Amino acid sequence: MFQAKHSISLLFNANKVYDRQVIEGIGHYLQSSKVDWDIYLEEDVLTRLENIDEWGGDGIIADFDDPTVQAALVNAKVPVIGVGGSYSNAADYPDVPYVATDNFAVVKCAYEHLKKKGLERFAFYGFPADQNHRWAVEREAAMVKLCKEDGYECSIYRGHPTRPETWQYTMNRVTDWIQALPNPVGIVSVTDARARHLLQACDHIGKLVPDNISIVGIDDDDIARFLSRISLSSVTQGCFDMGFQAAKLLHRHLDNEGLKNKRVLVPPLGVSERQSTDFKALKDPFVIQAMHYIRQNACRGIKVDQVLDFVGVSRSNLEQRFKEERGHSIHAEIHNEKLDKASKLLKESEVSTNEVAQVCGYPSLQYMYAVFKKHYNQTPREYRIEHSNNLDT
């Protein structure tokens, strides 16, 4: 009868994108190292915690960002590897081998991304401070430190917990904060979910993103990205590598290597840049309005006349302003926006070329082929193949 060498329990919330990516990294270590482990992953982590002392397994990898999980494992009889956020104070780390996302590096990645856009005003949207969001406190402190070192002020807003019964109040207060910020401003949001609050509030009050407010989140969560009309720039954390490193630590621990309280800090992978931070330091208010309208509607097949109607100025006036600010015509801006969208879809998705043409507002697939041949000297299919290969290398 088959019997695995070790039984390992994973204490994570698989409903969260962060936890799922950590679990995926653990799975990759299992496949690449061929360790002989049975893996237990409970749908309800709290149920496992109630009887954790009675579990006859050999090791645990657990989410230590959850204080309930951490407290339940203080007197664990088997090796425990903690996974969570980093701390600026060494005394805050748990008394077990620990793999952490580098919170300071994560925030710095977002902050530097906004600085490179030419922004000089900054803000941070976080969480109310409590034991369940210790990582949020660390990220807020990192943002304050980075701004202070560069001589910038930073507006901090922690907001409120999101509950159905207080949702409208919460969003009204977010809106009040946004309206009080000087423009243009770059906001780092503690998570993608909180960044969605900002995008929604800006949409309701007519704040132009990214022209007035540039927003970068943390997590690169597909759900947050697809639920907003404006695509969200976000920091991709090294969650996959965290899971891999945690499994590697446990493997070493089970092989009786002396790890004591070894810590591994995992840096972010970088910023996935999208529309919410496509800031170009425009000064002309009419061009800003036109750019916002073009970003929102270029792929709906709009023409120059519709842009003029939206802004409410003459064609000669706006064309002149566009030439001064952007260096090209309104028509070229619409063309570029559609081409950028099509290029990203070909590089980052498996959507068919015919669907790409439809989504991006081209009158036909043949027309899009002609555009790509003229601009890239490649067909859309050739463009996709070349850039897919680059992503794999």
Residues 79-131: tens digit of each pLDDT: 999 999 999 999 999 999 999 999 999 999 999 999 998 899 999 999 998 88
What is the C-alpha to C-alpha distance for residues 377 and 371, in angstroms, rounded to an integer? 9
Three-state secondary-structure class, residue 388: helix
Of residues 95, 69, 98, 68, the one with CA closest to residue 10? 69
List pLDDT tens digits, range 333-355.
999 999 988 998 898 888 899 99
Domains of the chain by residue range? 6-101+239-269, 103-236+272-277, 285-387
Of residues 225, 272, 263, the one with CA closest to residue 110? 272
List pLDDT tens digits, range 248-303.
999 998 887 666 778 999 999 999 988 899 877 677 889 888 988 898 889 988 99
Contact 72, 54 (CB under 8 A): no
Residue 225 has pLDDT above 70, yes or no: no
Residue 191 has pLDDT above 80, yes or no: yes
Of residues 93, 68, 63, 65, the one with CA closest to residue 81? 63
- Residue 291 is predicted with a pLDDT of 87
Architecture of domain 103-236+272-277 in this structure: 3-Layer(aba) Sandwich (3.40)
Contact 12, 62 (CB under 8 A): yes
- Residue 77 is predicted with a pLDDT of 87
Contact 53, 270 (CB under 8 A): no
Look over the chain and give the mean of its residue pLDDT values, rounded to a whole number.
89
Contact 74, 50 (CB under 8 A): no
Task: For the beta carbon of residue 80, count every other beta carbon within 10 angstroms.
Answer: 24
The answer to whether the 6-101+239-269 and 103-236+272-277 domains have the same CATH topology is yes
CATH number of 6-101+239-269: 3.40.50.2300
Highest mean pLDDT out of 5-19, 64-78, 174-188, 314-328: 174-188
Instruction: Tell if the pTM clears 0.85, that is, is over it.
Output: no
What is the C-alpha to C-alpha distance for residues 73 and 76, in angstroms, rounded to an integer? 5
- Residue 258 is predicted with a pLDDT of 65
CA 87 to chain centre: 20
Q: Edge to edge, what strands does the sheet with 80-85 contain? A: 37-41, 6-11, 59-63, 80-85, 98-101, 263-266
The gap between the terminal CA atoms of the chain, to the nearest Å, is: 43
Any idea which of 41-45, 180-184, 235-239 has the lowest mean pLDDT?
41-45
What is the C-alpha to C-alpha distance for residues 229 and 208, in angstroms, rounded to an integer? 12
Average pLDDT of span 227-248: 92
Residue type, 146: L
Residue 63 has pLDDT above 60, yes or no: yes
Domain covering 285-387 assigned CATH 1.10.150.20 in the classification: no
What is the C-alpha to C-alpha distance for residues 242 and 101, in angstroms, rounded to an integer? 7
What is the C-alpha to C-alpha distance for residues 242 and 361, in angstroms, rounded to an integer? 41
- Residue 390 is predicted with a pLDDT of 53
